[in-house]
Structure 1
């Protein structure tokens, strides 16, 4: 696990994801890779036309990397430019990544559009945890930092590992309807608060299986008002 990977396309949505990815890189003391993919969408094309599109893609990637470098505190920023599908490239990069961070415009019902949505596809298929950051623009500064929430009553071990790790890194409490006593004993620095007090969450953590089917977990991935981390095996 070598780096935090950010899927970046130059949109306001990916700028918000960039903020979160930089936080993760700084907290984990890992480098950040800003990844951008491009492809000619109109069938056959001459090389001049493709070269022009590639140049535009290089500019988008340069802008994202410069934004990251100018706002980070000592994080090494690398870049990855890929000709092809963005979702597939991010899944490839997940093989060696600690975490993938992507922005989302808001997903419609999964799995119906999973192939057409970069965030949805990566959340379902990546080999590492994925954080989907919803909404455009910079992350607003919270007036009160909420807990890390695990919504499942019977979460996978990988989900709890990730949730407690994020809570420790961010110095936040954790809340869940699950019995957290065993995990709390392993993480004495993380405070567990009642689940019914878990409003204004900073992050919701769900299992990957839950991200690929209808139900509460799929709904959270589509509509949660905060970032959603997708963890574990599909």
Structure 2
């Protein structure tokens, strides 16, 4: 990418990748970055017939140029860079993510558990990409609401809050949207005589959660004074609390490298909108 931290989109011509392309074009325009449209192809039959192999390559070129042309037609001022790769899609997207500012992929809808989709392009990108990943779920054109909802950030006291907030605040700023920061808390139980009891006063736990969230948000309120930030703590499980924000434009969560975090997996199954995974 010539040192330019652009927006990379994995494109295969499907309805799902068209939806992801729509989102990626917005990201590239809003961030004033180039858009890299990547399509990978593989010859699956060993040495095979050279003419047939060349035919498959031409078909791959056609898919790629269709996506690039759609992006240019929809966004005439956008710097669109086609990337045709012979080999694994997951390998190429992981390579491109090393120099990318953002990777966008479509998803046919992840299965009931994260392991059900390990090996899919979206699952591999979420687990292994070296930049933030936005998974655009579902199919067809993105719905255009008369009023866009907030960017929603799921925050945990696990060392990832600043990375999540950096991405979420930037997204809220470029889109001109408010940011809703959600932190889930729970009471750690203790067992006595085979019966579990709350270890702490629930009001004290809630107050501690409120204090932690306020402290986590304080520097970002100063760095991003143009972003309206709302804080919300909840005793509900984090995944349920985030999925309950049905008007969200984007949900942003953190996840460990190399695997799905539990909250990220829940969002990829149930979020009502695209999901950003940040490390």
The TM-score normalised by the length of structure 2 is 0.78
Cα RMSD (Å) of the superposition? 1.9
Q: Per-residue deviation at 1:123?
A: 1.2
Would you say the 8 A contact 2:10–2:17 is kept in 1?
yes
| 1:205 and 2:209 are equivalent in the alignment | no
Match in the other structure for 1:181: 218
1:122-143 deviation per Cα after TM superposition (whole angstroms, max 9, x unaligned): 1111111111101112211112
Deviation digits for residues 22-49 of structure 1 (CA, Å, limit 9, x no counterpart)? 1011111111110000012344422111
Question: Residue 52 in 1 paired to residue 89 in 2?
Answer: no
Structure 2 unaligned residues grouped into runs of 5+? 184-212, 235-243
1:99-129 per-position Cα deviation (integer Å, ceiling 9, x unaligned):
1111100112224532x21011011111111
Q: Secondary structure at the match of 1:41?
A: coil
Query: Which range moves more in the overlay, 168-177 or 186-195?
Result: 186-195
Matching of residue 159 in structure 1 with residue 184 in structure 2: no
| TM-superposed deviation, 1:194 | 4.7
Q: Which runs of 4+ in 1 moved over 2 A?
A: 41-44, 152-156, 193-199, 210-217
Partner residue, 1:226? 273
User: Alpha carbons of 1:21 and 1:150: their partners in 2 closer, same or farther (altered >3 Å)?
Assistant: same
Answer whether contact 1:212 1:218 (CA < 8 A) is retained.
no
Q: Is the 8 A contact 1:33 1:79 kept in 2?
A: yes
CA distance in 2, matches of 1:38, 1:51: 11
In structure 1, distance between residues paired with 2:163 and 2:81: 28
- Residue 190 of structure 1 corresponds to which residue in structure 2? 227
Other-structure match for 1:38: 41
Shift of 1:156: 2.9
Tell me what 1:99 maps to.
102
Asked if the contact 1:146/1:198 (under 8 Å) is kept, the reply is no
Query: For 2:36, what is the secondary structure of its paired residue?
Result: strand
Q: Structure 1: 5+ residue runs without aligned partners?
A: none
Structure with greater Cα Rg = 2
TM-fit CA distance, 1:177: 2.4
Q: Return the TM-score normalized by structure 1.
A: 0.92
